[in-house]
């Protein structure tokens, strides 16, 4: 029985991701071995399984948890407070803290990591109020 010819478009539709994401994974994992037929990638079934493992890993959410609070926080944040950050600013999160968190959240949202952290899906960010600092632990939660 002949092996099914999978293209990035076909594989992406099966995985629920964009064809560009599949192509990037192909180039990264197999830059020289990939065959091109009719100006398309021909993806062997064993590669499809490998790509599926890497591409299907979807980010669910980013959680900001208050891990330390000194002084009196104007927004009344307390240790243990958690905020889920997605496409919108979470209700109840101080706007100044959100401004401090946002660059770090953007890195996590686009798959980046911080080289100084031991865990790739976690970092700590402190709000800019020097008199009453609130430390947040940012965690990226994967599927």
pLDDT in tens, 52-102: 666 555 657 899 999 999 989 989 999 999 999 987 888 999 999 999 999
Task: Output 35 or 128, whichever has higher pLDDT.
Answer: 128
Residues 115 and 70 in one domain: yes
63 and 26 within one domain:
no
Q: Please tell me whether residues 109 and 70 are part of one structural domain.
A: yes
pLDDT on residue 93: 92
Q: Model confidence over 97-143: pLDDT tens digits?
A: 999 999 999 888 877 888 899 988 899 999 998 899 999 999 988 76
C-alpha to C-alpha distances, 31 to 24, 41, 64, nearest whole angstrom: 10, 11, 38
Considering the domain architecture, whether residues 50 and 64 belong to the same structural domain is answered as no
CB atoms within 10 A of CB 42: 14
Tokens of 17: 């991701």
Please indicate, yes or no, if residue 1 is contained in any of the structural domains: no
Residue 41 falls inside a structural domain: yes
Instruction: Give the residue numbers spanning the domain of 25.
Output: 8-55
25's enclosing H/E stretch is helix 19-29
Same domain, 37 and 68: no
Structure tokens at 49: 């399984």
State the DSSP H helix or E strand holding residue 67, giving kind and residue range, or none if neither: strand 59-69
pLDDT exceeds cutoff 60 at 9: yes
- Cα 25 to Cα 48: distance, rounded to the nearest angstrom: 10
What's residue 89's pLDDT? Answer: 83
pLDDT, average across residues 38-60 = 62
């Amino acid at each position: 029985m002949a092996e099914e010819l999978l293209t990035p478009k076909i594989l992406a539709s099966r995985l629920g991701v964009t064809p560009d994401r599949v192509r990037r994974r192909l180039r990264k994992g197999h830059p020289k071995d990939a065959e091109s037929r009719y100006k398309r990638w021909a993806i062997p079934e064993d590669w499809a399984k490998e790509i599926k493992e890497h591409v299907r890993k979807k980010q669910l959410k980013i959680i900001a948890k208050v891990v330390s609070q000194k002084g009196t926080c104007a927004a009344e944040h307390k240790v243990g407070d958690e905020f889920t950050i997605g496409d919108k600013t979470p209700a109840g999160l101080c706007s100044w803290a959100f401004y401090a968190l946002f660059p770090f959240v953007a890195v996590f949202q686009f798959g980046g990591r911080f080289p100084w952290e031991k865990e790739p899906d976690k970092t700590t960010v402190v709000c800019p109020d020097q008199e009453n600092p609130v430390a947040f632990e940012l965690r990226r939660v994967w599927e």
